Structure 1
Amino acid sequence: MANIQDSAQQLEEAIRNSDEFQNLKQAYETVMADEVAKKMFEDFRNTQIELQEKQMQGQEITEEEIEKARKVVETVQQHDQISKLMEQEQNLNVLINDISKTITKPLEELYGAQEQ
């Protein structure tokens, strides 16, 4: 188990040192250094969190809330720095999803073999 944990620690370090993470970190720092962008981004994140919490609790999301979220998304997408941040976040998510597929491959093969 320690060997697997060591590998996970190495993977964490590799992610931290990856271009994808470094680009995301730079984009995040740029947004946080701009008061207007920071406020817009925080509003965006708070809206996301509120809707996710309601969804997880099984509460209905109203049309009004959906429209508010849509407007917040449109606003942040028009801000160059925030748009860049979101793009860099997506790039890191692609990397992490690829890693997740790789590390869950033994399970997929095991259960996939059972289904055949």
Structure 2
Amino acid sequence: MASNIYDLAYELENALKNSQEYKTLQAKYEDIRMDPAAKKLFDQFRNIQMKLQEKQMTGQNISQNEVQEAQSVAAMVQQNPKIVQLMDAEQHMSIAINEVNKIVMKPLDELYGKMSQ
């Protein structure tokens, strides 16, 4: 094999950066970055998501106020077309990455599949 696994991983990184999914995501994020109101709302939404996820991962309780705040901001996010378009682009990128992950993991799936037979 001419390339090692890490060289191939960097090639994959470049392929992802050059994919239509990534270019669309990048353009949609730039649309938000250039709109101060959308950027502020998007940042608020992401901060709430990260805070709640961190609490969940560390086993901390999430208060009813935090749940209500998250729901309120999520509702506002759904009303902003630029953020909705960004989230749609994120979903498409995530699907592409998940498909690539399945391909990368196929040798292990096949190996362990044979072991259980």
Q: TM-score when scaled to structure 2?
A: 0.93
Gaps of 5+ in 2: none
Question: 1: distance between equivalents of 2:109 and 2:67?
Answer: 36
% same residue: 47
1:67 CA drift (Å): 2.0
Deviations 1:11-48 (A, max 9, x none): 00000000000000000000010000000000000001
Deviations 1:33-87 (A, max 9, x none): 0000000000000001100110111111222222211111111111000000000
Question: 1: distance between equivalents of 2:103 and 2:72?
Answer: 37
Alignment partner, residue 32 of structure 1? 33
Gaps of 5+ in 1: none
Amino acid at match of 1:3: N
Alignment partner, residue 81 of structure 2? 80
Matched, 1:17 2:18: yes
Q: TM-score when scaled to structure 1?
A: 0.94
Amino acid at match of 1:47: I
Normalized per residue, the structure richer in helix is 1
Question: 1: distance between equivalents of 2:111 and 2:92?
Answer: 29
RMSD value, Cα:
1.3
The 5 Å alignment of 1:20-99 reads: 20-99=21-100
The 5 Å alignment of 1:101-112 reads: 101-112=102-113
Q: Which runs of 4+ in 1 moved over 4 A?
A: none
**Alignment size in residue pairs:** 116
